[in-house]
Amino acid sequence: MYKNIILFILLSMTLSVKANKDSGYVNVNGLKMYYEVYGEGKPLVLLHGSFMNIAMNWSQIIPLLSKTHKVIVPEMQGHGHTKDIPRAMSYEAMADDVSGLLKQLKIDSADVLGYSMGGGIAFQVAVRHPEQVRRLVILSATYAHDGWYPEVEASFATMNGDMFKGSPIEQQYLSYGNDPKQFSAWIKKVLSMDVNYDWTKDVIALKAPICMVIGDADGVRYEHALELFKAKGGGKTGDFHGLPKSRLAILPGTTHIGIIMHTQYWIPMVNDFLESDLSPTPPMF
C-alpha cells in the first residue's frame, strides 16, 4: 500500500498546473491558509487528501474542471504552503477553515469536492455550514471510521514517519521550510484525525445532494457507500419511483489511490451531477 502511495505521488509531482488565475493567503481561525483559484463559472472547492498539497492531488484534475467551473483549491492545516499551528488536526476544524475561506472570498455558496481526508472535510463543511454547500462530491472517503475496510483502518495505527523517509512526502514537507525533526510528529498528527468518528446521522440529514464515488478495489467498503445512498433515496427502481437527487458510482478496476488518475470515469459523472437539475424521471405508471 505504501509503495503505491509513493509511486502515485512521484507521478503526480511530474505534472504541473498551468496559469493559475489567482493565489494568496487568508487568515482564518488562527491559520494562514493558502489557496489558488482557476477558471470561471459556478464555484467548486477541491479538498485534498492526507499528506498532500495542490500539485500532488489536483495537477491532472484542475485543468479539466476549470473549463466549466471557478475552481477554488486550498491547502489545509499543516499541508503545502499552509503552515501548521498549535491546534489539533480535526475534520471539524478544517471544515471551519474552508468556511472561513469562502466567506473571505465572498462566495455565498459552492459545490464541494473532497478526496480521502478531503472527503471527510467536505462532509463536515456540509454538516457545520450547510448554507455554504450547494452540492457535495465525495471521492473515496467515509462518513464514519468503520467505513474503511478493517485492514485499512488498522493501518492508520501502524503508519509512521520512518515509512516515508526519503519519499516525495518527506521532500515536499521539507521544501516548505518545515523542521525535519518534526516530520514523524506531523505524520502522526495528520493520522490522529482518523479515530472513532461517526457522522452518520448528520450526513443522512444533509439537504445538499451527494455524489459518492468509490473504486471497486477501494479502501471504502461497498456497504458503507450503499447505506448512505439508500438513506438519501437510492435503492429503488427509478423507472417506477423516479431518480434520487443523490448518486453513487463504483468505478471498475479502481483503487483508493488510482481513483485520482482515472479521471476518464468520474470527471464526466461529476460534471453531469453538478450541472443537472436533478429532477426525477417521471414514473412509468
52-84, pLDDT tens digit by residue? 999 999 999 999 999 999 999 999 999 999 999
The third-level CATH classification (topology) of the domain covering 2-275 is Rossmann fold (3.40.50)
246-282, pLDDT tens digit by residue? 999 999 999 999 999 999 999 999 999 999 999 898 7
pLDDT range class, residue 8, cuts 50, 70, 90 = low
153-178, pLDDT tens digit by residue? 999 989 999 999 999 999 999 999 99
Specify whether the CB–CB gap between 115 and 140 falls below 8 A: yes
> Which pLDDT belongs to residue 15?
46
